[in-house]
Amino acid sequence: MIALLVRQFRASPWPTILLAFTVAVLSLIATIIPRMSTQLDDRQLASSLRDVSAVKGDVSGTWTTYSIGHLADGDPWQGPREAAETTRLAQPEPLRSLLRPGQFLGVQPVRTEWIPPTETGYYRVEANLLIDPDLPDRATLVEGAWPEIGSDSAPFQVAMLTTFAEKADLKVGDRPTPNLQITGIFTANDPDDTRWGHNPYGVSIGEEVEPALGTKLVGGLFMAPAIAAGDPSMRLQDPFRYDVYFGLNADAVAARGTDIAELSAQLTGMLAKRWSPVPAPAGDEPVGADNNPMAFHSELNSLLERQLAQQRTTHTLIAVSAIGPIGVGIALVTLCAQLVLYRRKTAITLLSARGMSPAQLRGLVAIEGAVAGVPAAVLGQLVGQALVDSPTHWWSWPLTLTIGLVPAAALAWVARDTSHLGRREVASSSSRWRMVAEILIALAAGGATWRLLTTRGAQGLGTDLLGAAAPVLLTLLACLLVLRVYPVPLRLLVHAFKRGRGFTGFMGSARALREPAGGVAPVVTIVLGTTIAVTAASLLGTIAAGTERAVWNDNGSSVHVSGPRMTEETAEQLRAIDGVDAVALVRLGSDNSALRIGDKEVRARVWLSDANLAETYLASRDGSPLPSAVFEKGSPVPVVVGGSLIPGGGKGTLQGLGDVAVVGHLELLPGVTSADAWVLVSTDNWPDKNLSSAKTAIISAAPGADLEAVTAAVKELIPLAHVTTTETQLQALRGSPTVDGLSRIFILLTLITGVLMVLAIFTAQIMTANDRRSAAAVLRTLGLRPGQLRALTAWELGPVVLVALILGALVGIGIAALMLATVDFKALTGGAFTPSLYLDPRWVGGVCLALLAATTLAVGFSAWLAGRTNIAHELRLGEER
């Protein structure tokens, strides 16, 4: 048997090699896609952990006490440090590695104040008394020395930030109050360290504006860390509040396949327990009253929930995209199995004549398939593991072995009936089993789609199986539709050419009607590959456009400024900056006003602005959403309302304003709010002219302006402002691991799909090569030119390719729309609303052109080969037959 297999392989090796190559590609896909998906998840989780603020992400706890230890014992912070490390080490992995060693901050509840010199421009200075035991390691002294504990009658020694000292006009040796003396002035070593989120006065100061008094300066004064052991002078009447916090080590979750659900459960368990802030006492000694166990808190779980939703969406998209090349690969394996037996048809006939039973034949070809498939599958997995560095799942090798046995199953299935190894009509079959199969597929596709639509928004973990199954079933339904619809226009063409004088058109359409592309498998291949590729391209373009819209909605315009209070004078200064086109200030008119429209009343937030707001919105991607009527005078007063709680039209009343007429309804006010209920009123129409200062400024940059220069000028004008630009945010989101990772996966799968589609078409053409060459030889002797012969070959393949490409593209767009309606894409775009379908010409057009070019290449090459038929050789073979 082995000798027979070797002889058969030597006689015609390349069909078996093509079969093994296809299996290797399938194994490669099954290996790299889960690994790339895991890699994407890890990168996105690490990126999100790096971006989350320390206050929201870090795990922190608080306890209050007069003393954390005894100064005579040396470092009073040794006990709390040991307790914090014990708490961290008690957590399971991966939470333990995610948490950095604990850090501390002591805060005195009573602040100190003094009146600074007039030349500072501040009417008062307010200082928080703080203790940071790690400050000497995280900051550098510019002048003086770090504070120490002095005598009972000496003032407390404190250190302060350089910016605070400059603003308050203080230097080393000064005594702002009788009980405080400046001994050191420092600057932070790394201002971007997340620890300063818990200790903001270690890197910055604050300013509070009181319209009637002026501006108050707020900062921090850092006392000696040893004061935590107790104030020897007993002048501190209130105990310190001590914060212990564990920073997040984002690199700890990189490249390790972190299970977010498991991590979230571990964090929940940690937050549910109470932990001692000091080491456990020896023996039965009770813990002191001041050191009662404390609870930790963190908002990290909300971020992990968003990551879970994002992973669920990305996994569904990746699963749908991977189905394309996998389905094309399986169809190609079936074609290759047919080709292997077709090339050995003579030998199979002889073996059957010599007594080989069908079961023995199936066993023989199954062994050949296993010998060719298993090593190829193993090679595909090894290559995939070398290309993508990611943890290997336990199920990867069983899956690889299963893929390796697919050729054996395909060869055995094809060998069950060797009478159909030649040409076979595609659309002529009218068996009841085919009808039953089509009905079952149609019912399954309809049921999966209905179920997907009715379970929209359902939460779950892992891949959305409905989201992955519905596109596949719809694609199979499209394949059946192609096979059913395809003969109709061809029959019309046959009748039309029959009445004419064009032999090529008549003969070509007749052959195409008899056998499009060599069988069912190529039709399924083209439709499936095109559908999934176009779906992936449509979704990728939608994600990119949705991300851009989300950024513009969040920022409002080119530049967004928030933070300190701004006046009209500030707005004029902003307009004077080179590159600024328009500036709009947005004020809060009322935080909670009653809005009544018809019989419905809601509490809404009222925002005030002028017509400059519409001008700043003009720079956005979709232009200004505000109707110009909102800034006109009138009675009732025109307003724009927003949010899901407010009706979209009509007249009503607004508390503090009177009668209003709704001239527009928006989901959100870009750059300002996305609250459930809000109202925008023109500043000129607001009755209270004593307006408060604005905390939001929206700036539109002139076309071609240097946004970095504009941002720098704004920060120089308003030093404490938080300034964001649309360009920077777009660059960050487009370069995010999710968008970048999905783009790479989609592009890779599309390329693999295109290659497999071309191979499938070539394989199908080779199946009918002998019949085509025989017919070509006869037709050439009757006067058919080589060009006409090539046209006949193109007719045989071209129509079904064209129909399959068009229908596949349409179905792909429809599936993309279905997924947008049923899968949560907000987690990918970062916006508040689900993005609408956007067919990006670069993605959708590029994929369609690439697939069209691939299939045209296959058709053209097959036609070129047909035109080179050796007439004498084929006629001689015909005589021998």
Q: Do 456 and 313 contact (CB within 8 A), yes or no?
A: no
Using alpha carbons, select from 442, 285, 314 the residue that is nearest to residue 736. Answer: 314
Q: Do 546 and 190 contact (CB within 8 A), yes or no?
A: no
Question: Best-predicted range by mean pLDDT among 80-89, 232-241, 306-315?
Answer: 80-89
| Residue 770 pLDDT level (bands cut at 50, 70, 90) | low
- Report pLDDT for 459: 44
Residue 461 in this model has a pLDDT that exceeds 60: no
Residue 843 in this model has a pLDDT that exceeds 70: yes
With a CB cutoff of 8 Å and minimum separation 6, the contacts of 80 are 68, 69, 102, 104, 242, 244, 277, 278
> Which tokens in the block code for residue 89?
């080490």
Per-residue pLDDT tens digits for 103-136: 999 999 888 999 999 888 899 999 999 999 999 9
Residue 855 DSSP SS3: helix
Residue 675 in this model has a pLDDT that exceeds 70: no
For 125, 136, 295, 351, the CA distances from 106, given in Å and listed in that order, are 20, 15, 17, 90
Backbone φ/ψ region at 519: left (φ over 0), alpha (ψ -120 to 50), beta: left
Cα–Cα distance, 192 to 186 (Å, whole number):
16
Q: Do 349 and 342 contact (CB within 8 A), yes or no?
A: no
Q: Is the peptide bond before 133 cis (omega within 30 degrees of 0)?
A: no
Among 73-77, 448-452, 772-776, which stretch is predicted with the lowest mean pLDDT? Answer: 772-776
Residue 149 DSSP SS3: coil
Concatenated DSSP letters of 395-409: THHHHHHHHHTHHHH
Global confidence as pTM: 0.75
Cα–Cα distance, 480 to 552 (Å, whole number):
43
Q: Do 445 and 815 contact (CB within 8 A), yes or no?
A: no
- Report pLDDT for 500: 64
> Which tokens in the block code for residue 665?
């309804």
Cα–Cα distance, 410 to 368 (Å, whole number):
11
Cα–Cα distance, 346 to 82 (Å, whole number):
82
Residue 582 in this model has a pLDDT that exceeds 70: yes
| Residue 11 pLDDT level (bands cut at 50, 70, 90) | low
Count CB neighbours of 258 within 10 A: 23
Give the distance, in angstroms, between the CA of residue 632 and the centroid of all CA atoms in the same chain: 42
Among 615-619, 756-760, 860-864, which stretch is predicted with the lowest mean pLDDT? Answer: 860-864
Q: Do 661 and 639 contact (CB within 8 A), yes or no?
A: yes
| Residue 471 pLDDT level (bands cut at 50, 70, 90) | confident
Per-residue pLDDT tens digits for 361-370: 778 888 888 8
- Report pLDDT for 133: 93
Segment (H or E) for 63: strand 59-65
Q: At what angle do helices 358-387 and 2-11 cross, to 10 degrees?
A: 70
Mean pLDDT, rounded, of the chain: 81
Cα–Cα distance, 276 to 625 (Å, whole number):
55
Per-residue pLDDT tens digits for 432-450: 666 777 788 888 878 777 7
Backbone φ/ψ region at 874: left (φ over 0), alpha (ψ -120 to 50), beta: alpha
- Report pLDDT for 288: 42
Q: pLDDT above 70 covers what percent of the chain? A: 83
Q: Do 368 and 341 contact (CB within 8 A), yes or no?
A: no
Give the distance, in angstroms, between the CA of residue 73 and the centroid of all CA atoms in the same chain: 53
| SS3 readout for 753-801 | HHHHHHHHHHHHHHHCHHHHHHHHHHHHHCCCCHHHHHHHHHHHHHHHH
> Which tokens in the block code for residue 798?
């071209």
For 2, 215, 263, 808, the CA distances from 353, given in Å and listed in that order, are 20, 104, 66, 45
Question: Best-predicted range by mean pLDDT among 372-381, 513-522, 596-605, 704-713?
Answer: 372-381
Question: What average pLDDT does this structure show over 86-90?
Answer: 92
Round the CA-based radius of gyration of the chain to a whole number and report it.
37
- Report pLDDT for 871: 57
Residue 42 in this model has a pLDDT that exceeds 80: yes
Half-sphere exposure of 307 (CA within 13 A, CB side): 25
- Report pLDDT for 600: 82
Residue 872 in this model has a pLDDT that exceeds 70: no
Among 328-332, 473-477, 744-748, 827-831, which stretch is predicted with the lowest mean pLDDT? Answer: 827-831
Using alpha carbons, select from 44, 33, 258 the residue that is nearest to residue 739. Answer: 44
Cα–Cα distance, 638 to 566 (Å, whole number):
26
Count CB neighbours of 212 within 10 A: 5
Q: Do 267 and 278 contact (CB within 8 A), yes or no?
A: no
Using alpha carbons, select from 831, 656, 804 the residue that is nearest to residue 328. Answer: 804
Q: Is the peptide bond before 94 cis (omega within 30 degrees of 0)?
A: yes
Per-residue pLDDT tens digits for 486-545: 777 777 777 777 776 566 767 766 766 665 544 566 777 778 888 888 888 888 888 888
What are the DSSP E strand ranges found in 507-643?
Answer: 559-566, 580-597, 600-609, 637-642
Residue 243 in this model has a pLDDT that exceeds 60: yes
What residue segments make up the domains of the chain, in order of their start?
1-58+300-422, 61-255+290-299, 435-557+726-881, 559-704
Residue 806 in this model has a pLDDT that exceeds 80: yes
The number of residues making up the chain comes to 881
- Report pLDDT for 53: 80
In single-letter form, the type of residue at position 110 comes to V
Cα–Cα distance, 565 to 844 (Å, whole number):
47
Residue 2 in this model has a pLDDT that exceeds 80: no
Residue 189 DSSP SS3: coil
Per-residue pLDDT tens digits for 287-307: 443 456 888 999 898 888 888
In single-letter form, the type of residue at position 574 comes to L
Residue 648 in this model has a pLDDT that exceeds 60: yes
- Report pLDDT for 423: 44
| Residue 717 pLDDT level (bands cut at 50, 70, 90) | confident
- Report pLDDT for 336: 85
Give the distance, in angstroms, between the CA of residue 252 and the centroid of all CA atoms in the same chain: 21
- Report pLDDT for 476: 78
> Which tokens in the block code for residue 688?
């209270």
CA 391, 392, 394, 395: dihedral to nearest 10 degrees? 130
For 46, 55, 264, 847, the CA distances from 60, given in Å and listed in that order, are 20, 8, 16, 50
Q: pLDDT above 90 covers what percent of the chain? A: 17
Residue 679 DSSP SS3: strand
**Tokens 């203080």 belong to which residue?**
170
> Which tokens in the block code for residue 18?
């093509």
678-682 vs 637-642, strand pairing mode: antiparallel
CA 545, 548, 552, 557: dihedral to nearest 10 degrees? -110
**Tokens 């009755």 belong to which residue?**
687
Cα–Cα distance, 434 to 676 (Å, whole number):
54
Q: Do 587 and 606 contact (CB within 8 A), yes or no?
A: no
| Residue 869 pLDDT level (bands cut at 50, 70, 90) | low
Q: Do 659 and 636 contact (CB within 8 A), yes or no?
A: yes
- Report pLDDT for 293: 81
The strand pairing partners of 130, in sequence order, are 107, 222
Residue 844 DSSP SS3: helix
With a CB cutoff of 8 Å and minimum separation 6, the contacts of 612 are 582, 583, 584, 585
Q: Do 138 and 188 contact (CB within 8 A), yes or no?
A: yes
Per-residue pLDDT tens digits for 260-289: 888 999 999 999 988 888 776 554 444 443
- Report pLDDT for 101: 93
Cα–Cα distance, 348 to 586 (Å, whole number):
84
| Residue 185 pLDDT level (bands cut at 50, 70, 90) | very high
What letters, b where the CB count within 10 A reaches 16 and e where it falls short, cover 187-211? ebeeeeebbbbbbbbbbbbbbeeee
